[in-house]
Amino acid sequence: MEQSAVQKIAVFTSGGDAPGMNAAIRAVVRTASHFNIECYGVREGYNGLINDDFTKLGPRSVKNIINEGGTILKSARSKEFRTAEGRQKAYENLKKYGIDALVCIGGDGTFTGAKAFSDE
C-alpha cells in the first residue's frame, strides 16, 4: 500500500448545528484511524483554529456519538476569521500542529471561509 502524503488532519464543525454532524465527525476520525492518519478535532469551528483549541481524536473519542444531537466539537460562527489577520492566526496554528489537511463540516458560510482560506 502506498504511503499517503497526508499524515495529520484536523476536523471541525462550523455555523449552526445540523443533524449528522456527529456522524460526519465519527466517519472522518474512523477513516483517518484506518489509514493511520493522526486526527485532531478543533473546537468551535474557525474560532478554535484561531484560538488554538485542538484536541487529538481517535476511535474511542467518537464511540457512541452517532446518536447524539449537535456536535461534540461545538460549533460557532467567527467574525475574526473573516479578516486576513484571523486567517493568518489559524494558518499558524495548523502549521504548529503539522496539519496537512482540514476537513470542514458545515454549510455555505463554512465553505466560503474554507475557499478564502485555501486561496490564501
DSSP string, 6-19: --EEEEEE-SS--T
Residue 66 grid cell: 452517532
Residue among 5, 15, 85, 69 at smallest CA distance from 46: 15
If you search the block for the grid coordinates 482560506, which residue do you land on? 117
Give the pLDDT score at 1: 46
- Terminal CA-to-CA distance of the chain, rounded, Å? 33
Give the pLDDT score at 4: 62
DSSP string, 31-72: HHHHTT-EEEEETTHHHHHHTT-EEEE-GGGGTT-TTSSS-T
Give pLDDT tens digits for 38-72: 999 999 999 999 999 999 999 999 999 988 888 99
- Where the chain has pLDDT below 70, the residues are 1-4
Q: CA 102 to CA 57: how far, in whole Å?
A: 14
